[in-house]
Amino acid sequence: MAERSSWVLVDGENIDATLGGSILGRRPQPEERPRWDRLLSFIADRWDQPAKGLFFLNASSHLPMSFVQALLALGYQPVPLSGDADEKVVDIAIQRTLAALAHHADDVLLVSHDRDFADELAGLADGERRVGVLAFHEFRSTEFAGIPGIEFFDLEYDADAFDAPLPRVRVIPIDDFDPDEFLR
């Protein structure tokens, strides 16, 4: 019997847009972007099985070869896509991949905030596999919360994907509240 795996599907455009537009208020610098390799090791440790990463890229205008080479070195399979200007090629490809995963016994972790994937995730959350969403909690689509059986992880706080703290305002469980963090 083949070993079960976790598929990590990364909507890099969505994460980058949320990080830049909603958290930083500007285009992220390279050192402010997620450490993508940490996502694979996070879910491999959390779900105690190998993780395989697919990183979806819109390459309609150009293919960023240095980024593609970096993804390969980190253990991801880049999925460069092209299409017409009005096509959301990354979303289409992720939706098709999620639908195809319904025919596999593997677990699935989606790295995106995008509500466009809610139907496909609901179809995968069958109780037979683990299904998760890894994103910034405060920007994650509320439609995901209505799907029973999905695990939620925060990109910064759970997966520790950043080298420095981001300027986020978050709800703190009272048991975790440390006033000294605010008295600096």
Q: Say if 169 falls within a structural domain.
A: yes
Q: Tokens in use for 71?
A: 């993804």
DSSP letters, 99-132, are HHHTTS--EEEEE---GGGHHHHHHH-SSSS-EE
Residue-by-residue pLDDT tens, the chain, 184 positions = 568 999 999 999 999 999 999 999 999 988 899 999 999 999 999 999 999 999 999 999 999 999 999 999 999 999 999 999 999 999 999 999 999 999 999 999 999 999 999 999 999 999 999 999 999 999 999 999 999 999 999 999 999 999 988 998 877 889 989 999 888 7
Number of domains in the chain: 1
β-partners of residue 80 are 57
15, part of any domain: yes
DSSP state letters, 26-66: SPPPGGGS--HHHHHHHHHHHHTS-EEEEEEEE-SS---HH
109 inside domain: yes
In eight-state DSSP terms, residue 181 is G
The domain in which residue 89 lies consists of 6-181
Q: Which CATH number is 154's domain given?
A: 3.40.50.1010
